[in-house]
Amino acid sequence: MRNFKRALAVLFVLLLAAVVLFFVLENQQVVSLVLFGWSAPAMPVAVPVLAALVVGLAVGPVLGAYGVQRSKRKIRASERQAAPSGR
């Protein structure tokens, strides 16, 4: 069963890599992005799209972990307030 899960994970990673490769190969049109007057150098459209994906994949778990920690702090604070004093 362990080998099956490992093989399934490898297959998924290979499939994902193939999809990304096909996306990059199909989106070779050159674009230049402009933001607040700053102009980025011309690059294939796949580059900023994949960069946005990577940034989103990095920011999402960080924000999720922050939310979990915040919830834990609220729970601990409410437990301290609800606990009777030792007197």
Q: Is residue 87 situated within a structural domain?
A: no
Q: What is the largest CA-CA distance in the chain?
A: 74
Domain span at residue 33 reads 2-82
Q: Is residue 25 situated within a structural domain?
A: yes
Q: Is the pLDDT of residue 83 over 90?
A: no
Element (H, E) at 23: helix 2-26
Q: Is residue 6 situated within a structural domain?
A: yes
Q: Is residue 72 situated within a structural domain?
A: yes
Contact 47, 33 (CB under 8 A): no
Q: Give the predicted TM-score (pTM) of the model.
A: 0.60
State the pLDDT at residue 87: 55
Q: Is residue 39 situated within a structural domain?
A: yes
State the pLDDT at residue 7: 93
Q: What is the chain's alpha carbon radius of gyration, rounded to the nearest angstrom?
A: 23
Contact 23, 44 (CB under 8 A): no
6-65 per-position pLDDT tens digit: 999 999 999 988 998 898 889 889 998 888 988 989 999 989 888 998 999 899 999 999
Report how many domains make up the chain. Answer: 1
Q: Is residue 56 situated within a structural domain?
A: yes
Q: Is residue 17 situated within a structural domain?
A: yes
Q: How far apart are CA 87 and CA 82, in angstroms?
A: 15
Q: Is residue 74 situated within a structural domain?
A: yes
